[in-house]
Amino acid sequence: MRRIYKFSLLAVAASFSLGLSAQVRMRDLFVSAPDSLFPLLSKNNRLDCIDFMENNIAARVKNLLDQNSEMKVLTEDYLMMEMSPKGRVELLLLNDSVICMISTCKGPAEDSRADFYNEHWAKIEMTAPSPTVDDFMQDVPDSLKLDAESVRRMLEGLPLIGVTVEPQGKKFTYTLQISELPKRERKVATQLIRPLTYVWDGAFKQE
Protein backbone atom coordinates (compact mmCIF):
# COMPACT_ATOMS: atom_id res chain seq x y z
CA MET A 1 0.00 0.00 0.00
CA ARG A 2 1.58 3.31 -1.12
CA ARG A 3 1.66 6.17 1.39
CA ILE A 4 3.27 9.54 1.79
CA TYR A 5 4.76 9.78 5.28
CA LYS A 6 7.05 12.79 4.98
CA PHE A 7 4.46 15.28 6.20
CA SER A 8 3.32 13.00 9.01
CA LEU A 9 6.83 12.42 10.33
CA LEU A 10 7.67 16.13 10.14
CA ALA A 11 4.52 16.84 12.13
CA VAL A 12 5.57 14.36 14.81
CA ALA A 13 9.02 15.93 15.06
CA ALA A 14 7.56 19.42 15.33
CA SER A 15 5.10 18.42 18.02
CA PHE A 16 7.80 16.78 20.13
CA SER A 17 9.93 19.93 19.90
CA LEU A 18 7.10 21.72 21.72
CA GLY A 19 6.51 18.93 24.22
CA LEU A 20 3.51 16.63 24.40
CA SER A 21 0.31 18.58 23.82
CA ALA A 22 -3.22 18.04 22.63
CA GLN A 23 -2.25 17.74 18.97
CA VAL A 24 0.13 14.84 19.63
CA ARG A 25 -1.92 11.71 19.36
CA MET A 26 -1.31 8.09 20.24
CA ARG A 27 -0.74 7.32 16.56
CA ASP A 28 2.29 9.66 16.59
CA LEU A 29 3.70 8.14 19.76
CA PHE A 30 3.31 4.64 18.32
CA VAL A 31 5.22 5.62 15.17
CA SER A 32 7.99 7.35 17.13
CA ALA A 33 8.52 4.48 19.59
CA PRO A 34 11.93 2.75 19.51
CA ASP A 35 11.99 -0.55 17.62
CA SER A 36 13.17 -2.24 20.83
CA LEU A 37 9.73 -1.71 22.38
CA PHE A 38 7.99 -3.48 19.49
CA PRO A 39 10.52 -6.10 18.37
CA LEU A 40 7.93 -8.01 16.32
CA LEU A 41 6.96 -4.96 14.26
CA SER A 42 8.92 -2.94 11.74
CA LYS A 43 8.17 0.78 11.48
CA ASN A 44 6.40 0.05 8.20
CA ASN A 45 4.22 -2.50 10.04
CA ARG A 46 3.23 0.20 12.50
CA LEU A 47 2.53 2.74 9.78
CA ASP A 48 0.45 0.18 7.88
CA CYS A 49 -1.65 -0.54 10.99
CA ILE A 50 -2.38 3.15 11.44
CA ASP A 51 -3.31 3.53 7.77
CA PHE A 52 -5.63 0.55 7.94
CA MET A 53 -7.34 1.77 11.13
CA GLU A 54 -7.85 5.25 9.72
CA ASN A 55 -9.38 3.75 6.58
CA ASN A 56 -11.64 1.34 8.47
CA ILE A 57 -9.74 -1.72 7.25
CA ALA A 58 -8.75 -4.63 9.48
CA ALA A 59 -5.35 -3.48 10.82
CA ARG A 60 -3.64 -6.85 10.42
CA VAL A 61 -0.02 -7.22 9.27
CA LYS A 62 2.58 -9.97 9.03
CA ASN A 63 5.14 -9.31 11.76
CA LEU A 64 8.85 -10.12 11.70
CA LEU A 65 8.14 -13.70 12.80
CA ASP A 66 5.68 -14.12 9.91
CA GLN A 67 2.77 -14.20 12.35
CA ASN A 68 -0.28 -11.97 12.34
CA SER A 69 -0.25 -8.84 14.47
CA GLU A 70 -3.43 -6.77 14.62
CA MET A 71 -4.23 -3.35 16.00
CA LYS A 72 -7.62 -3.62 17.67
CA VAL A 73 -8.13 -0.13 19.12
CA LEU A 74 -6.60 3.27 18.35
CA THR A 75 -7.84 6.51 19.91
CA GLU A 76 -6.26 9.82 20.84
CA ASP A 77 -4.88 8.44 24.10
CA TYR A 78 -5.11 4.63 23.89
CA LEU A 79 -3.87 1.79 21.71
CA MET A 80 -4.36 -1.95 21.95
CA MET A 81 -2.37 -4.31 19.73
CA GLU A 82 -2.56 -8.09 19.57
CA MET A 83 1.09 -8.75 18.87
CA SER A 84 0.59 -12.49 18.32
CA PRO A 85 -1.69 -15.26 19.60
CA LYS A 86 0.55 -15.24 22.68
CA GLY A 87 0.55 -11.60 23.65
CA ARG A 88 -0.81 -8.07 23.45
CA VAL A 89 0.34 -4.55 24.21
CA GLU A 90 -1.76 -1.68 25.52
CA LEU A 91 -0.61 1.95 25.61
CA LEU A 92 -2.44 4.63 27.60
CA LEU A 93 -1.56 8.28 28.10
CA LEU A 94 -1.93 8.88 31.82
CA ASN A 95 -1.27 12.60 31.47
CA ASP A 96 0.57 14.98 29.17
CA SER A 97 3.95 13.41 29.83
CA VAL A 98 3.46 9.82 31.01
CA ILE A 99 2.75 6.78 28.82
CA CYS A 100 1.76 3.53 30.52
CA MET A 101 2.63 0.38 28.56
CA ILE A 102 0.97 -2.88 29.63
CA SER A 103 2.60 -5.94 28.04
CA THR A 104 0.68 -9.20 28.47
CA CYS A 105 1.89 -12.72 27.70
CA LYS A 106 -0.60 -15.57 27.33
CA GLY A 107 0.58 -19.02 28.14
CA PRO A 108 -2.49 -19.66 28.20
CA ALA A 109 -2.85 -17.89 31.57
CA GLU A 110 -2.16 -14.18 31.26
CA ASP A 111 0.75 -12.43 32.93
CA SER A 112 1.16 -8.68 32.56
CA ARG A 113 3.88 -6.12 33.18
CA ALA A 114 3.52 -2.35 33.47
CA ASP A 115 6.23 0.04 32.25
CA PHE A 116 6.18 3.83 32.10
CA TYR A 117 7.76 6.24 29.63
CA ASN A 118 7.84 9.95 28.98
CA GLU A 119 6.81 11.51 25.67
CA HIS A 120 10.28 10.85 24.24
CA TRP A 121 10.11 7.15 25.20
CA ALA A 122 12.66 7.44 27.98
CA LYS A 123 11.76 5.00 30.73
CA ILE A 124 10.65 6.56 33.99
CA GLU A 125 10.23 5.06 37.43
CA MET A 126 6.70 4.97 38.79
CA THR A 127 4.96 2.91 41.41
CA ALA A 128 2.39 0.61 39.82
CA PRO A 129 -0.04 -1.56 41.78
CA SER A 130 1.55 -4.83 42.91
CA PRO A 131 -1.18 -6.79 44.71
CA THR A 132 -0.40 -10.02 46.56
CA VAL A 133 -2.42 -13.22 46.39
CA ASP A 134 -4.10 -12.29 49.69
CA ASP A 135 -5.31 -9.00 48.20
CA PHE A 136 -7.37 -10.93 45.64
CA MET A 137 -9.00 -13.23 48.20
CA GLN A 138 -12.41 -12.42 49.57
CA ASP A 139 -13.55 -13.35 53.05
CA VAL A 140 -13.30 -17.11 53.36
CA PRO A 141 -16.32 -18.96 54.76
CA ASP A 142 -15.55 -21.53 57.45
CA SER A 143 -16.57 -24.36 55.12
CA LEU A 144 -13.76 -23.44 52.69
CA LYS A 145 -10.94 -22.44 55.03
CA LEU A 146 -8.88 -25.60 54.57
CA ASP A 147 -9.35 -25.59 50.81
CA ALA A 148 -8.61 -21.87 50.68
CA GLU A 149 -5.26 -22.36 52.36
CA SER A 150 -4.33 -25.02 49.80
CA VAL A 151 -5.34 -22.69 46.95
CA ARG A 152 -3.38 -19.82 48.48
CA ARG A 153 -0.19 -21.88 48.73
CA MET A 154 -0.49 -23.01 45.11
CA LEU A 155 -1.07 -19.50 43.82
CA GLU A 156 1.71 -17.98 45.88
CA GLY A 157 4.15 -20.39 44.25
CA LEU A 158 3.81 -18.69 40.88
CA PRO A 159 1.27 -15.85 40.90
CA LEU A 160 0.25 -14.85 37.37
CA ILE A 161 -1.67 -11.59 37.12
CA GLY A 162 -3.31 -10.33 33.95
CA VAL A 163 -4.04 -6.62 33.53
CA THR A 164 -6.62 -5.05 31.22
CA VAL A 165 -7.09 -1.35 30.57
CA GLU A 166 -10.31 0.65 30.40
CA PRO A 167 -9.13 3.93 28.84
CA GLN A 168 -12.22 5.90 29.78
CA GLY A 169 -11.62 6.67 33.41
CA LYS A 170 -8.07 5.29 33.23
CA LYS A 171 -9.03 2.06 34.97
CA PHE A 172 -6.75 -0.96 35.29
CA THR A 173 -8.26 -4.33 36.21
CA TYR A 174 -5.89 -6.89 37.75
CA THR A 175 -7.01 -10.52 37.58
CA LEU A 176 -5.23 -13.31 39.43
CA GLN A 177 -5.02 -16.23 37.01
CA ILE A 178 -6.35 -19.56 38.27
CA SER A 179 -6.50 -21.61 35.05
CA GLU A 180 -3.26 -23.43 35.92
CA LEU A 181 -4.70 -24.84 39.15
CA PRO A 182 -5.91 -28.45 39.35
CA LYS A 183 -9.62 -28.79 38.66
CA ARG A 184 -10.70 -29.11 42.31
CA GLU A 185 -8.66 -26.14 43.52
CA ARG A 186 -9.73 -24.09 40.50
CA LYS A 187 -13.38 -24.63 41.46
CA VAL A 188 -12.67 -23.43 44.99
CA ALA A 189 -10.68 -20.45 43.70
CA THR A 190 -13.62 -19.19 41.63
CA GLN A 191 -15.49 -18.68 44.91
CA LEU A 192 -12.61 -16.91 46.63
CA ILE A 193 -10.77 -14.80 44.07
CA ARG A 194 -11.98 -11.40 42.91
CA PRO A 195 -10.45 -8.98 40.41
CA LEU A 196 -9.01 -5.70 41.66
CA THR A 197 -9.55 -2.37 39.92
CA TYR A 198 -7.22 0.60 40.20
CA VAL A 199 -7.86 4.11 38.86
CA TRP A 200 -5.20 6.58 37.83
CA ASP A 201 -5.82 10.04 39.31
CA GLY A 202 -2.30 11.39 39.50
CA ALA A 203 -1.48 8.12 41.28
CA PHE A 204 -2.96 4.61 41.31
CA LYS A 205 -5.84 4.22 43.73
CA GLN A 206 -7.84 1.07 44.36
CA GLU A 207 -11.56 1.35 43.67
Identify the band that residue 141 occupies on the pLDDT scale cut at 50, 70 and 90. Answer: confident
Using a cut of 0.85, tell me whether the model's pTM lies above it.
no
Neighbours of 13 (CB within 10 A): 11
Task: State the pLDDT at residue 17.
Answer: 41
Give 35-44 pLDDT, tens digit per residue. Answer: 999 999 999 9
Residue 32 CA to residue 190 CA, distance in Å, equals 42
Residue 79 pairs in a beta bridge with 74, 91
